[in-house]
Structure 1
């Protein structure tokens, strides 16, 4: 049995001690081809430390071999030895045949490290050196997509699409659909999604197509794809939200609400579905059901501001002041400076004739609601009733600026001006 076969046998048998002894023997060998194959085999099986020992030995004998530097660098990156790996990769120069390969490895490293611009610079250099190489064009397109440069990425994917259907097991059609969607070119994405669906119907493709249709204003087609998706995979949770939203757009509010509830039954911990169900129930006039959903959303996330505002708005609209006080007192740390919630509280205090508290809440809300004429009118009336005419006059002047067509406040302001004269 050859030594390579022994390496594989010890790996498969899990005989680490025997494997270690064999690697010691291999490191004494001068059969560099054998050593190189053994290192590759070990790396393929995930024995990176053992592979690195052999690459290190090879580089001692062949210090100028660029391919060895790249292979060892890849192994070191897997082991978390980034600094040493980068030294090896940057030691591969433009005169080396493997320079483009080193650039690709550097681009991968920089991308994984979150250094997008550095990654793009390396892949751009590689592309300039080998512009016709499909793998490089694909890698360049992938980095452009990740960096949000969708137009440039699309051009590369379109060129690749004329030559091949996939690279590295990744469909070029899927990348075109994804890139157009990421760049908000949803109508351009749709034909690629539909072509993919003709080849194979997959849940992610159905969802992608549905989202593109929804964003393009074709909610009916979105519903059709999402119905197929939920039938295919009832646990594809995102489908329930988008399906409910699509049904709501086309006026099917009852069906939308039922779909949101179906989604909640599948995933009761989805706060966004609870909020959507609450809003849907409100559209249907089901206030009690809406309140229940909104409380569930807040139980899942007490800092969920949209659910808090929606529930507070419901209590304010129904003049459920005690419930509003309880809700906002329980969550005061989360919203204390929120203008709209202070406005709701001000209205409730005023209704309950707690005028000092109402004044404090009105004043806090005013800071962020100077453009809301409905709030300003309520605040102005409150100030006038409380005898705070000077403060009220400031609000009235703002009202006349915002809604000059309002005859009541314009007349009030003119009357005050006449009094001053």
Structure 2
């Protein structure tokens, strides 16, 4: 039944989806040269289209003396200025192209950085993005209509709950609406029939912990566990592997950029090269959406720190798509000492070093309400020796400029949407 519902939905909402799925199944075996050749072709098309139909980009290119005839290789994209998020937010109407598409769909970003964005995405671009996700699913033997469980934010009104339950039904999925044990334990029992679980990685981790604590039966049909929107800590993997017999894989993307990378069964995050062009500049990700023309995203500073693997890095899965080694944190979140300012991705390296040097896997959250003071919340119980290890590693980065308190055995509240590893009220 759900396969039929899926096909009806595709025909109605995403008529070009099957075309894109077929295309991406073919291109996943392309060589890196073929992929880059396709990227260059799409880039040239996008730039010409944006210049012709977007009032913003016409003025933007002219003002910055961008000659589109000079874009002859992918490296030439650096001749185009980087687009900052505030510039994009200030020019939403002008960025939209004046071309009349047969069908457009409204897209809204989550606004987790405090700045939500709403724009129109043409059906072809929307279908391409869905096809990119489904291609990743196919690597794990998942069909789009398979039974699945979804962990996402759920601060809904009654009206929104009813709407959400309907949408979940037609997508053959279910989710938990409350984290009290009375409703959560029956939810876990329903996992027995699902093929995949996806959503916030912190929620997946908490589910795995509860399964392990209660010694509940592991789902037998499960093929994939996908974490999105949050960092996947190493300590998460230990609990998830124990509970489900599978590791949690990662999907990386954004509403405006589309799917940027998807993890293959060999553990590498392959960049969705057919859909986007990714640059790493001073550790920051700069992304160009190659498929969306209704609202062009060109050299956009997305707001994440990343680590892009060298071009000659290969994967045993056989795909030659570039590899994204890691997403190390959000840009623009400063840590304030008594005298100095530090980037928030310092926390990423602190806990990475603790894992590497001391094999100590920790989940954490850092709070700052006053300059020169940080509160570290650790999900695990620390021995006196482990507490010293954490203190010493923190001190390497902040020395005497920041006073620190550490609380262990903290139960994080995962019921209010996306989990943030650093929260500052300054």
Fold in common (TM above 0.5)? no
Which structure exhibits the higher relative contact order, with contacts defined as CA atoms closer than 8 Å and separated by 6 or more residues?
Answer: 2
Could you say which structure has the higher helix fraction? 1
Q: State which structure, 1 or 2, has the greater radius of gyration over its C-alpha atoms.
A: 1
Structure 2-normalised TM-score? 0.28
